[in-house]
Amino acid sequence: MKRDEDQLKSLKQGLERTKQQLAAFESRFGMTTADMKSRLGSGQMEETLETIDWCLEFEALHLLEEQYSQAV
């Protein structure tokens, strides 16, 4: 039981950190993550190390959300 509680706590912390990182990217670039992904996809925005990191954070959020929903 303790292990499950520790796993949930860890997942919650990971979700919070990832959301904070996404918010920082959105603030820095002045657009939402959805807008960034759309612009990258349409070629309106250049792929850089920062946008790659941003995309990876977005993917991490989805993975953490999936793991959390399976754990509860």
Domain span including residue 20: 2-71
Q: What's the pLDDT score for residue 71?
A: 87
26 by Cβ neighbours in 10 Å (0-12 / 13-18 / 19+) ranks as middle
pTM: 0.88
Q: How many domains is the chain partitioned into structurally? A: 1
Give the range among 1-5, 29-33, 34-38, 53-57 with minimum mean pLDDT: 1-5
Q: What is the pLDDT of residues 9-35, one digit of tens each?
A: 999 999 999 999 999 999 999 999 999
Residue 45 near residue 36 (C-beta atoms within 8 A): yes
Mean pLDDT in residue range 36-65: 97
pLDDT band at 4 (very low <50, low <70, confident <90, very high): confident
Amino acid 53: pLDDT: 98
